[in-house]
Amino acid sequence: MPQAEGRGGNAASAPQLRASSLRTNICWIDGGNAVVGTSRPVLPVDGEGPPRTVRLRPYGIDRFAVSNERFASFVAQTGYVTEAEHFGWSFVFKGFLTPHVLAAAQVAPEAPWWVRVEGACWKLPEGEGSSLSDRKNHPAVHISWNDARAFACWAGGRLPTEAEWEHAAMGGRVSVYPWGDEDPDDTAFFPCNIWQGRFPEKDLGLDGHVGTAPVDAFRPNGFGLYNMVGNTWEWCEDLFRVRSLSRVAKIRNKVTRQQQQRLMKGGSYLCHASYCHRYRIAARLGCPPDSATGHLGFRIAYDVEDGNAPTRSH
């Protein structure tokens, strides 16, 4: 994933208005011990292991990623301007762009399938000429960590911690994926929105989607949560850190501290086991907090307060 390090500018100011206190489509989860990470990491360099036990307080988490329609309501009520809009550009996957745009575009050197597109942002996902007309129920993308936190404040919530996110994604079981341990494939088993085919040449779309899918696509997990893996990466509150004393980990952690990288979970529609097997629950990645791309979104968590959770679900 390309990183927007050095894009400059301050984070957009937090909005003054708040959403209604009426909350729907929240899954309330009982507290207790949660195991985070795995003893069988696929990408050890990302710090997927070793597993550790974290004590969680009761909390709530949205059943769906924040949709374009919901984000549009936030913007309409607050006048909020995302960081991608402030900077004037964002990264778009090259497969969504015309040859004319590609010919004049600047690609990310470390990931040439990402193209810098002027004007690309949450409401113009592929830049000028694109729209949300048929994607109102798709996840909002081109959202930075700072943007996600501003929305969460307005919505009366916050971003989930990694431990909360993983515990919620498990859905009451211990497994590799939200549905169990069976791996998605390119022929018959399509439990989430990821890539099928040879990356980055062509997504065959055998799961029914090329690019983002609606936030309520596919079957929910045991807690009733949708698209906890695949579709879009989701920001978490945590700083990204690899829990290891190895030389490689120390070097990586130094860079992440300098950039104040934040944690992302879940993978996206661009993931495939052949090159980016990060749509597993234990998988993780970090990016600077002003990063924004066409496959990066979020969902909201909530603290349990008086009158906040009339009946917890699990």
Classify residue 123: in a domain, yes or no. Answer: no
Residue whose tokens read 């062509």: 202
Reading across the β-sheet that carries 111-118, which strands appear in turn? 89-93, 111-118, 106-108
Q: Is residue 198 a part of any domain in this protein?
A: yes
Rounded Cα gap, residues 145 and 83, in angstroms: 9
Q: How many domains does the chain have?
A: 1
**Is position 256 within any domain?**
yes
Bridge partners of residue 108, in order along the sequence: 111
* Element containing residue 264 per DSSP (H, E): strand 262-265
The reported pLDDT for the residue numbered 13 is 44
Report the pLDDT value the prediction gives residue 1, as an integer from 0 to 100.
73
DSSP 297: E
Is 64 a domain residue?
yes
* The pLDDT value given to residue 305: 78
Instruction: Tokens for 202, please give them.
Output: 């062509």
Interatomic CA distance for residues 273 and 221, integer angstroms: 21
Query: What's 260's domain CATH number?
Result: 3.90.1580.10
Could you identify the residue written with the tokens 């409401």? Answer: 123
- pLDDT at position 16, please? 44
DSSP labels, 6-52 = T--SPPPPPPS----S---SEEEE--EEEEES-SS-S-GGGT--S-E
Domain contains 106:
no
d(CA 214, CA 269): 12
Tokens of 135: 């994607």
pLDDT at 276: 95
Mind giving me the DSSP string for 112-174? EEEEEEET-BTTBTTSTT--STT-TTSBP-S--HHHHHHHHHHTT-BPPPHHHHHHHHHTTS-
pLDDT reported for residue 110: 87
Would residue 125 count as lying in a domain? no
Per-residue pLDDT of the chain (314 residues; tens, 9 = 90+): 776 544 544 444 444 444 544 467 999 999 999 999 999 999 999 999 999 999 999 999 999 999 999 999 999 999 999 999 999 999 999 999 988 888 888 998 889 999 999 999 999 999 999 999 999 999 999 999 999 999 999 999 999 999 999 999 999 999 999 999 999 999 999 999 999 999 999 999 999 999 999 999 999 999 999 999 999 999 999 999 999 888 888 998 998 999 999 999 999 999 999 999 999 999 999 999 999 999 999 999 999 975 555 445 56
* Domain that residue 34 falls in: 26-76+138-287+297-303
Residue 200 lies in a domain: yes
At residue 2, the pLDDT reads 74
Before 58, cis peptide (omega within 30)? Answer: no
Q: Is 129 part of any domain?
A: no
